[in-house]
A and B are shown apart, each in its own frame.
Chain A
Amino acid sequence: MRTAKQRVVGALWVLLLTGLITACDEENPPVIRMASTTSLDNSGLLDVLLPRFQQESGIAVRVLAVGSGQAIRIAERGDADLIFVHHPEAEHNFLAGGFGTQRYPVMYNHFVLLGPDTDPAGIRDAPSVEAAFLAIARQRSPFISRGDQSGTHMAERALWKSAGHQPRGGWYREVGSGMGATLQMAVAQSAYTLSDPATWLAFKRPGELEILLGRKAGMRNVYSILPVNPGRHPHVKYKYVMRFIDWLSGDAGQQLVRNFRPRGEQAFSLLPAE
């Protein structure tokens, strides 16, 4: 019996050690951690880019898909090597705080204002997104806000501010969720919501919501990469991060972004290198 017991204990130790080894062998091949917005991950773009980059460079990019606000805070703590986000104001603060080395704008698209095709607030022909927001507020039509400090949430708050209205009341629902979950709630409640177009393309189901407004002033949505400053966090793999940025701004990367067409529609437009 003694031996049987010892055997069990031995097997358990082996199990524990394999668990710990799994934890430790991540450095071969080299691995960098990218804190990125959920929209890039959910849209499927990263699934196109990262395997190709790994194939060509031998560098694996691990993605923490969170809201832009959280991505920036993760990087400030030194828990990521780079961020790929869409919240210019917070990005500039990130640089000003000495957390990043530089801001590399990569691509852009335009946010879309979605709603039920019955369009109870009549925003389809609104002259501006601010006018549309005010119409929704006046009608007290249900509007779902991300409420999670993400880039999309911050863009939405900026648009309310520029409309000069502080949304408040039962019709304005802050859900504190990612874009996918928010879209589902908007569908379920026949509500208006602001979305990035890439997630919308990846998620939309026929006959649920419609794009009622897009491509208006203030709806431009720029995605940038910011490497974490190795002067601030010496353990970050700055060299590999720069390899990724060079690759993405080179022919191979640019072509993949340009040809990324979920459901046949262009999701991102490239920005000229600065």
Chain B
Amino acid sequence: MTADSFLFWFLAIVTVTSGLSVILMNNPIYSALSLAMTMVGISALFITLNAFFIAGVQLIVYAGAVMVLFTMVLMLFDLKHEMQAFVKGKFTGFIKVASVGLLAGLLVGAILMSVGLFTEKTTDNPVTFGTGMEATKALGRILYTKYLLGFEALGVLLLVIAIGAVALSRSKGGTHEH
């Protein structure tokens, strides 16, 4: 067993276990902490795929900012009476679990059937190898040329979101005056 495959299986076990605990933990704070663990695992998986810069951004944005916000909000809520908010009713629950299982089977089956169709060309592009600097430079170049419009649109979206979030958190909530 080589180091690469060992790393993959280790990270796969870590991400799937912590991903499962996100939905199985009774206390939402433990869910948030396990999700942060999943994010760190996925970031390490990005490194095994030579996406160094994206891995760093994943750590900073997801694990370092988004999940910290989730955890902070949950800790402020202090949900003592509302620990187990699972779905009620055995029948609907069973239908949902069955449909999720069906989706899983479909996805995995589709991947296994179609994966032979790709011709893997892993040696073609020097950009996706090396220490990450070349890939990051190339990434910047196409971000500011080919995808410039999308990038600008995201900037506008972030501005709108920032204003919207501030407005929402300042409002009293509800649609009618009390």
Q: Do A and B come from one complex?
A: no
On A, residues with C-beta under 8 Å from B are none
Binding site for A on B (CB under 8 A): none
